[in-house]
Amino acid sequence: MAWRARVFVTPKEGILDPQGKAVEHSLHTLGYPEVTDVRIGKVVDLHLADVSRDSAQTRVREMCERLLANGVIEDFTFTIDEAS
Amino acid sequence: MAWRARVFVTPKEGILDPQGKAVEHSLHTLGYPEVTDVRIGKVVDLHLADVSRDSAQTRVREMCERLLANGVIEDFTFTIDEAS
């Protein structure tokens, strides 16, 4: 089975996000004063070939912990769907 | 009404993604040869205060077109949910 995984890596609550602050400021300048709490993270899309769903789950979690997210300052979540 | 919007900005198909290639290579080195097609994008979380759902939809789309995504090389999608 082949899978499409989508990983979200976002700054932990309480961690400063200067990029988010900069975007928030720009949005206010552009005329969107209703916007607050802008936080910017990464989305990593990947394709996994020839593994079971359980193995895909386990291995994607491992990839997040070992490479994709920095556990000190970032949280991660992911979804896994069958690849078409 | 207040809303939580989550915007995904990803490189368009066919556009080179060197960061994705670098991560793919690192994952192979770390022992995940089953991973291919790694693409890296941004996720922008934002909070919108005191607007209707329709207005939130329209304005978030506008923000994507004007600031959050570069239409030449990036696609965007977004979801909007009621803020708790």
Chain B residues near residue A69 by CB distance under 8 angstroms: none
User: Given an 8 Å threshold on Cβ–Cβ distance, is B36 in contact with A24?
Assistant: no
User: Per-residue pLDDT tens for B6-53?
Assistant: 999 999 999 999 999 999 999 999 999 999 999 999 999 999 998 999
Residue B84 has pLDDT above 80, yes or no: no
Chain A residues near residue B47 by CB distance under 8 angstroms: 35-38
Average pLDDT of span A45-65: 95
The reported pLDDT for the residue numbered A1 is 86
The reported pLDDT for the residue numbered A84 is 74
The reported pLDDT for the residue numbered A76 is 98
Please measure the distance between the N-terminal and C-terminal CA atoms of chain B and give it in whole angstroms. Answer: 10
Residue A70 identity: N
Q: Are A42 and A74 in contact (CB under 8 A)?
A: no
Q: B3-82: which CATH number, 3.40.50.300, 3.30.1280.10, 3.40.1360.10, 3.30.465.10?
A: 3.30.1280.10
